[in-house]
């Protein structure tokens, strides 16, 4: 299966990279590598993430997966379809996505 990313994923990834780069430029590059590696893995195994269980019907089927350490504070949100996996967002774990999903999806 293939994956594709919504336009906001680029913004999320760049913001995360910039945040990490404030402390460690090498780690910031490693973050992007880890994220894209996970996008590829999710494209191959779309059922590996947990259901987000969001109440709005337009958000049905959204799953999330936590990046591997040391980036395990970031979550990748995606939806599987017959065309592949659509990566929806890459969010920092402290983001209040469960309480206000309409702000993020």
102, two tokens: 């309409």
pLDDT reported for residue 80 = 92
The predicted pLDDT at position 69 comes to 95
Better-predicted residue by pLDDT, 105 or 44:
44
Using the structure block, give the residue that is written with the tokens 């894209």: 36
The gap from C-alpha 9 to its chain's centroid, in whole angstroms, comes to: 8
Number of domains the chain is built from? 1
The CATH number that applies at residue 71 is: 3.30.2310.20
| Domain extent at residue 78 | 3-104
Dihedral angle, C-alpha 69, 2, 47, 90, nearest 10 °: 40
> With a threshold of 0.75, does the pTM exceed it?
yes
* Residues 42-67 pLDDT 10s: 999 999 999 998 877 778 889 999 99
Question: In the prediction, which pLDDT does 105 show?
Answer: 81
Tens of pLDDT, residues 61-102:
899 999 999 999 999 999 998 889 999 999 998 887 878 777
Q: What DSSP state is assigned to residue 67?
A: P
What's the pLDDT at 42? 96
* pLDDT tens sequence across 26-43: 999 999 999 999 999 999
Query: How far, in Å, are 3, 47, 74, 79, 88 from residue 12 at the CA level?
Result: 17, 23, 10, 17, 10
Sign of CA dihedral 19, 43, 82, 49: negative
């Amino acid at each position: 299966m293939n994956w594709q990313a919504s336009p906001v994923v680029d913004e999320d990834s760049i913001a995360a990279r910039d945040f990490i780069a404030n402390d460690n430029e090498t780690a910031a590059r490693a973050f992007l590598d880890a994220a894209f590696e996970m996008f590829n893995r999710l494209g191959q195994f779309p059922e590996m993430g947990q259901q987000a269980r969001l109440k709005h019907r337009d958000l049905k089927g959204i799953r999330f997966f936590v990046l591997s350490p040391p980036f395990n504070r970031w979550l990748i949100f995606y939806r599987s379809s017959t065309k592949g996996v659509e990566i929806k967002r890459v969010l920092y774990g402290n983001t209040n996505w469960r309480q206000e999903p309409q702000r993020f999806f």
